[in-house]
Amino acid sequence: MNKQELIDALAAKLNLTNKQEAEKILHGFVDVITESLKNGQEVNISGFGSFVVMDRSSRMGVNPQNPGEKIQIPATRVPKFRAGKNLKDAVRTNK
């Protein structure tokens, strides 16, 4: 499902006749999560999952253009999503 399909599904689920409203809702949702993560906060949606920021330590890697050369990959912060129990159960039982 791409972004436009998600907007269409959201509009249908919420009985919105104007898909621009569904797009605003989706953009607002993404913006709130992004800002919270930028500020170091964790976003928990009960039954769905958690968005968190993890610190990834620096490490040695291989230069893809020259596989014989080692390079230092710097430490960074990355977003992660941890699925909640209800989401895991729904995915597991939907075969």
Q: What angle do CA 4, 43, 58 make, to 5 degrees?
A: 95
Q: pTM of this prediction?
A: 0.77
Residues 92, 47 share a domain: yes
Structural domain count of the chain = 2
Residues 81, 93 share a domain: yes
Residues 95, 67 share a domain: yes
- What pLDDT does residue 53 have? 96
Residues 34, 7 share a domain: yes
Residues 48, 34 share a domain: no
> pLDDT 10s digit of each residue in the chain, 95 long?
999 999 999 999 999 988 999 999 999 999 999 999 999 999 999 989 999 999 999 999 999 999 999 999 999 999 999 999 999 999 998 66
Query: What is the span of the domain harbouring residue 69?
Result: 42-95
Residues 34, 54 share a domain: no
